[in-house]
Structure 1
Amino acid sequence: MGKLWSGTVGRRFTILYATGFLGSAIVLLALTFLMSGSRLTTVAPEQPPAGRSNLAAAEQQIQDLQRQLSDVHAQQNHQLLVGSLIALVVMVGVSLLLGRVLAGRVLRPLRLITAATRRISAENLHQRLAVAGPVDEVKELADTVDGLLERLEASFVAQRRFVGNAAHELRTPLATMRASLDVAVAKPELATQTAVLADRLRTELDRVDHLLEGFLVLARAQHSTLADRTPVSLGELAQEALTARGADITARTLTVDDEVRSNAWTRGSPALLSRMVENMVDNAIVHNQESGWIRISTEHDDTETRLVVETGGRVLDQSQVDRLTQPFERLGADRTGSEGSSGLGLSIVAAIVAAHGGRLALLARPEGGLRVAVVLPSAAGREGVTP
């Protein structure tokens, strides 16, 4: 009974209503049975034949009538009992059915609210439940959810506005500082020590600019709508990323096992998906051992498209790997302050994957290294042929 009662609200309401109806039926049948057992049946006696000699025959006839009356009364009670049991069994089914109907009727507004709430996401926070009807507990609940959505929408809008304003306000002084630095370095009488300092400042400015760009991409992936959804080939993006980082791959003498297919299509923002693939490739290059290897592959079927990037290296802790999707999370001291790394790479990948309705899986390979797998909904290519 505990497991049965611990189910859904609809099941609990069904049990509650069915118990109430069944209890009422049992009480009604019990009262009917008790009242039928207290009824008195009288039979008018026949006039005995005249004469004293017929007295014994009259008494025998009276006894026979009483016995017959008792048998009839017992048979009626038995029939009433059997009929009551049959009615009780029927009422069990009727009570469950009626309880289910009433429970569904009572919970129907809540189901509508739940379905409408599930359809509302960060892309359509402007929508409201707008439940009509009398002012009752259900409408109060819907109005409360509408108020919560309104506050969430205001918070999202304020956050987007802050990101846009911060980007504008920060990039302007960065550009001014870089220009002033370039002008100072261009002077012929610049001392050697000052030139070295200028180079170091320029490097730090580039890192700050790279970090700012990462913040903007992360904010866009997390809080913006994807209005520019078009068919995109993850295979082509992977080939472009490998070509763009060819010099870095050569410098670190990395071996690339390329199993990329150009027909791995998905649908989404080309700019964000390109950044996603670039970050996956960059992560495999920067956080790799010297003379290591990279394996990059694509797979696809009618429903999903996959991009997998694997690297070798030391054995990693899966609990630490699971935290790499959080901003500024790195694995160990060797990753802290990595050259050219902002600590946002995989967090940006995770945000872009989530914005496109996909899944990101980070796996510490048992033999050492990291496996990063992205799964996105499959789509038709530019030729209109489903991969």
Structure 2
Amino acid sequence: MLRLQARTRFTVLYGAASLLCGAALLAVVLLLAGSRFSDTAPVPGQGAGAPADRIAVLQRELAEADARHSRQILIACVCAFALMLVLSLLVGRVLAKRVLHPLRRITAATREITAERLDRRLALPGPRDEVTDLADTVDDLLGRLEAAFNAQRRFAADASHELRTPLATMRATVDVAAAKPAAPAPVLVLADRLRPQLDQVDRLLDGLLALARAQHGALGTGTADLAGLAAAALAARADEIAATGLTVTADLPPSPVTGDHALLARLVGNLVDNAVVHNEPGGTVAVTLAPEEGAVRITVRGSGPVLDHVDDLVRPFHRHGADRTGSERGSGLGLAIVDAITAAHGGTLALTAPPDGGLAVTVTLPGEQRPEAAR
């Protein structure tokens, strides 16, 4: 079924209304013209002879003139109808454009509002009508969304900060109890069990803080070389890579980008962490940088089992089933943080599951903005 735009529908509606009114007017004109130029009736009392023939000739001439006049009126009406059709469509288009102008303003302003700019409002001027009521309704909805987003972000940041103090207290208590010269064996066993759990909570809080900052924090405007960040991330995880027997290949040409150095380092580190932690013993890790015109693409691929529905992995605390290799060591925030940092820098994130297994994560970021290009 053909679905027309609102402007086209309004144009057809206004044009059809004008056309029907014009057609009715022309019909009245034709009706009156037909009654006026009717055939002339014979004159009573006329007999045969020359005068009667002359009168008959005059009547035929009048009938022919009436027919010609009727044809002229019909042709003029058809031309006027065609002209009225064109004019009605033009006028209808102008009226439709004028009527829909406030809606186009609402659409353009709404498209500019994103999750990072919920403080903007439409504030449509004009008299109180259905359009301004719609704009006010959208403004109210944006206000509620802004409050909900801010509350969520504040909660994540505040909860992470508040939990760090009791976490540090618990860690200190465990360390002090285990460091005593005559510490009982059960205490030492308990300390060995608690330290990994405390480290896991610490990573979780750090991830929540990074996620909150990426979603709502002010970004730095420095320059970072993704090649250096990737090399540093691989070096920091060299021991774990060696312990699991992973084979690492890296293609790291210089790839400068503009953005927050700390968040970009976290992005690259999380990509490498994801490929190392969720891998299989003796597997492979490939890190590739591809500078392009105005953009830089980084792809980190790790081996492993065949996956499906990988797009869900960017959801916070989502793991791809219990059979995913190494999932018990992750916090469930790694790729969610990558997604948030990528979006904050105006980039794109793509997750693909190669047919031979594993996961390939590709992040495309805008390239370095040079001063001469900015001008």
For normalisation by structure 2, the TM-score amounts to 0.91
Q: Give runs of aligned pairs for residues 56-205 of structure 1, distance below 5 A.
A: 56-205=49-198
| Distance across 2 between alignment mates of 1:167 and 1:266 | 29
**Structure 1: which 5+ residue stretches go unaligned?**
46-51
The equivalent residue for 2:219 is 227
Structure 1 residue 219 displacement after superposition: 2.3
1:73-122 deviation line (CA, Å, top 9, x unaligned):
11111122222222222222222211111111001011111211222223
For the 8 Å contact 1:309–1:372, the answer to whether it is kept is yes
Assess if the C-alpha contact under 8 Å between 1:265 and 1:380 holds in 2: no
Change (3 A) 1:242 1:353: same
SS in 2 for 1:362: strand
Question: Which residue identity lines up with residue 152 of structure 1 in the other structure?
Answer: L
Determine helix, strand or coil for the equivalent of 2:364. strand
- Deviations along 1:5-45, whole A, 9 cap, x unmatched? x22211211111111111112111121112111104799x9
- Give runs of ≥4 in structure 1 deviating > 6 Å: 383-386
The match for 2:4 among 3, 7, 28 is 7
The alpha-carbon distance between structure 1 residues 36 and 189, as it changes in their structure 2 partners (threshold 3 A), is same
Q: Report the secondary structure of 2:125's partner residue.
A: coil
The whole-number CA distance in structure 1 between the counterparts of 2:165 and 2:52 is: 125
In structure 2, the residue corresponding to 1:291 is in which secondary structure? coil
1:255 aligns with 2:252: no
Aligned residue number for residue 206 of structure 1: 199
| Count of residue pairs the alignment pairs up | 372
Residue aligning to 1:31: 28
Q: Map 1:194-343 to 2 at 5 A.
A: 194-222=187-215, 224-262=216-254, 264-317=255-308, 319=309, 321-335=310-324, 338-343=327-332
1:354 to 339, 343, 351: 343
Classify 1:146/1:260 alpha carbon distance in 2 versus 1 (closer, same or farther; 3 Å): same
Residues 34/165 of structure 1: CA separation in 2 closer, same or farther (3 Å cut): same
Cα distance in 2, alignment partners of residues 243 and 266 from structure 1? 21
Q: What letter is aligned with 1:290?
A: P
- Cα displacement (A) at 1:357: 2.2
Q: 1:111 to 1:161 in 2, by over 3 A?
A: same
**Cα–Cα, structure 1 residues 145 and 384, in superposed 2: closer, same or farther, change >3 Å?**
same
Q: Return the letter of the residue paired with 1:104.
A: K
Letter in 1 for 2:302: T
Against the structure 1 CA distance between its residues 240 and 329, is the aligned structure 2 distance closer, same or farther, given a 3 Å change threshold?
same
Sequence identity of aligned pairs in percent? 51
Give the TM-score taking structure 1 as reference length. Answer: 0.89
Which residue of structure 2 aligns with residue 49 of structure 1?
Answer: none
Cα–Cα, structure 1 residues 297 and 142, in superposed 2: closer, same or farther, change >3 Å? same
Q: Determine if contact 1:226/1:268 at 8 Å carries over to the other structure.
A: no
> CA separation in 2, counterparts of 1:233 and 1:90?
67
Distance 1:336 1:238, change over 3 A: closer
Q: What amino acid sits opposite 2:295 in the alignment?
A: E
Give the AA of the match of 1:167.
Answer: S
Cα separation, 2, equivalents of 1:183 and 1:330? 35
1:295-336 Cα deviation digits (max 9, x unpaired): 11112322332111112333222x2x1211112222332337
- Structure 2: tracts of 5 or more residues without a match: none
Q: CA deviation at 1:133?
A: 1.7
Cα distance in 1 for partners of 2:260, 2:197 equals: 30
Describe the SS at the equivalent of 1:288.
coil
Provide the aligned C-alpha RMSD in A: 2.5
